[in-house]
Structure 1
Amino acid sequence: MRSRWLRVNGYQLHWIEAGRGPVVLLHGFAGSCADWEPTVLWLAEQGYRALAVDALGFGHSEKPVHAPYGLALQSDLYAAWLAALGIERAAFVAHSMGGKYALATVIRHPARVARLVLVATDGFVNPSPLTIIGGWPVLGETILWLSAHPAVVRAFLAAAFHNPESYVTTELIERGRAAISGVANRRALTALSRRYTATDLGLTGLRARLHEIRVPTLLIWGAHDRIFSLQYATTAHRELPCSQLVVIPHCGHFPHIEAVRPFRGVLSGFLASL
């Protein structure tokens, strides 16, 4: 597995990759490409070129404070990144927040996406008051600072997993805490929150264009997801015309971590016809 960097549209992007394929993996909020490391290695073993990329403002990618964060910027970056790598089309596998970015990419750059896998995807939930307040100067950074406390991170992860006793480890808590700690991370996340209208499918008008998506789409959801409940899964399934929905039992918001075997089984079957 290789760690790589490339300047795209003026911004430095970081990703990890292995094998041949290609399959692009997008992480969720406060996540990074590290969330996908086991899946990247497994996909490479299956013969795919798997590339898990850090979104702008996350992981080891650049964290510009004054960037016009939003679905347009992120999707344009992914399209330009693929072009720079000489990849004409790729399957996109996206978790949570990454799902919005994948949907924006397939709408704005349909020729770049061969098929779509959305795992407990964001995009079908209205912005919460906390999201809006998180973009306020001083207050937003204060909220992020408080959110980085290990007890707060542990509480979120406990809600995100159906069986937290088995998956909420000290390592996972530290990774989540590190993602929202430090001046650069907090400033980038505050800047992202400040532009919440540009990161919302509905407010950007992209949700009204979901009917344009004609690539095969797989929705994977945990039956016990307490972050984005099953009602959002059924909404996404209804609004995405070429979608199929698979619900994994005894699983929360992270099927690729909590239900590895069923998740990989479903993903493998879907990608086989790539």
Structure 2
Amino acid sequence: MCVVLTNDAEHVAMLDRCPHRDVALSGGIVKEGTLVCPGHFWRFDLPTGERTELPDRGATVYPTRVVDGWVEALLPPLQPHQSMREWLLAQAREGGPAVSEAAAESPEIGESVSVDGILTNYHDLGSGEPVVLIHGSGPGVSAWANWRLTLPALAESFRVIAPDVLGFGYTERPPGARYDLSTWTDHLVGFLDALGLDRVSLVGNSFGGALALSLATRHPERVERLVLMGSVGVSFPITAGLDKVWGFEPSLANMRALLDVFAHDHTLVNDDVARLRLAAATRPGVQEAYAAMFPAPQQARVDAMALDEDLVRSIGHPTLLVHGREDRVIPLTTSLRLHELIDDSRLHVFDRCGHWVQIEHATAFNRLLADFLGSCG
């Protein structure tokens, strides 16, 4: 159970679990009479527990009173339950149809906005100076999957917005869509326009780093600060790891092998994680769009995502470069080169770290990010 003190100094006691069951609501943020789940970012009305954007899925609120300075709540006997994660894993193992049905309640689904007619899925949490997180390009990726450990941490100090890039996650994939750096950049600019965001800081991961660089060079007036993590954006000989990522053929064995490439710490991945990621990568239309984004030869895709180095040199925004020393997907040399090209830049290299800096070193990464975004003027 968790106890929330409202703006009106009233105590609200509630079950310390989101309806998804795997996230503690006590880690959420209270604002304007609502509690925001720290993992799924659902908003709950505090007096009733109703989920404000979907009232039939509410949090459990108990009758509460204060006696001699202690908060008391009338708690019914708790019944054992199967967590949402356990249920999804069971469905993935069985290959049942309920996996797709569960997508409607997926934590990867946030809010939506139309960007030039394309319904775009995004997460929006916290308040303050706006920071936009741009995810990478692994199969089955989404903004939530990429930034789930970063969003709640940054939201303590900033307004943090993480969209599913065109063609990824739960953003619409229009028939015949063209996927290239220019199209993705235009979609991001349209997304900023749709949310009324004139100027933001950008955090780009891998493929998302190239999009951040593209936006910063094409529309420098829209960017405040720049963070590039394991970033694409300059040309380099394709690694065996990136070749596996962009050339992914759906199978559990291939997904498990790919996760081992992403993470230096292999204890972070197992067959259950691979099953969940494979299910995300094989939702209807997802793999088809993914194959259209990165057709062979993969080296040509690397070169297509590289910006002219004179453009990169023109970047005047304060820039933080972050890389994992053991990254097998994007070589450390790319961040070293970007550091040479961008005059106002600093570079932080994490040891014992692969391509998942934001997951393998989440606490240190979040602190580094918050300090940089909060200190640059």
Please give the TM-score of this superposition, normalised by the length of structure 2: 0.63
Aligned position for 1:124:
234
Q: Could you tell me how far apart the structure 2 residues matched to 1:58 and 1:180 are?
A: 9
Aligned position for 1:32:
142
Q: 1:157 aligns with which of 256, 259, 273?
A: 259
Q: Could you tell me how far apart the structure 2 residues matched to 1:203 and 1:158 are?
A: 24
> Against the structure 1 CA distance between its residues 120 and 92, is the aligned structure 2 distance closer, same or farther, given a 3 Å change threshold?
same
Q: 1:11 aligns with which of 105, 114, 118?
A: 118
Aligned length: 262
Q: Could you tell me how far apart the structure 2 residues matched to 1:9 and 1:220 are?
A: 33
AA aligned to 1:156 is: L
Q: Could you tell me how far apart the structure 2 residues matched to 1:256 and 1:38 are?
A: 7
Q: Identity over the aligned pairs, expressed in percent? A: 32
Residues 198 and 204 of structure 1 are in contact (CA less than 8 Å); yes or no, is this contact kept in structure 2? no
> Which stretch shows the higher mean deviation, 196-205 or 245-254?
196-205
Q: Could you tell me how far apart the structure 2 residues matched to 1:157 and 1:210 are?
A: 31
Aligned position for 2:327:
225
> Against the structure 1 CA distance between its residues 178 and 104, is the aligned structure 2 distance closer, same or farther, given a 3 Å change threshold?
farther
Q: Could you tell me how far apart the structure 2 residues matched to 1:121 and 1:188 are?
A: 22
Larger-gyration structure (1/2): 2
Aligned position for 2:287:
186
Aligned position for 2:207:
97
Q: 2:341 aligns with which of 230, 239, 242?
A: 239
AA aligned to 1:83 is: D
SS in 2 for 1:38: coil
Q: Could you tell me how far apart the structure 2 residues matched to 1:62 and 1:241 are?
A: 38
Q: Could you tell me how far apart the structure 1 residues matched to 2:130 and 2:153 are?
A: 13
CA-atom RMSD, angstroms?
2.7
**Structure 2: which 5+ runs fail to align?**
1-40, 43-109
Residues 135 and 205 of structure 2 are in contact (CA less than 8 Å); yes or no, is this contact kept in structure 1? yes
Q: Could you tell me how far apart the structure 2 residues matched to 1:119 and 1:204 are?
A: 15
AA aligned to 1:159 is: V
How far is the alpha carbon of 1:38 from its aligned partner? 2.1
CA deviations over 1:102-140 (Å, ceiling 9, x no partner): 111111111111111111112234475999x99xxxxx9
> Against the structure 1 CA distance between its residues 265 and 130, is the aligned structure 2 distance closer, same or farther, given a 3 Å change threshold?
closer
How far is the alpha carbon of 1:199 from its aligned partner? 6.1
Aligned position for 1:137:
none
**Structure 1: which 5+ runs fail to align?**
135-139
2:309 is aligned with 1:210: no
Q: Could you tell me how far apart the structure 1 residues matched to 2:359 and 2:164 are?
A: 18
> Which stretch shows the higher mean deviation, 121-130 or 91-100?
121-130
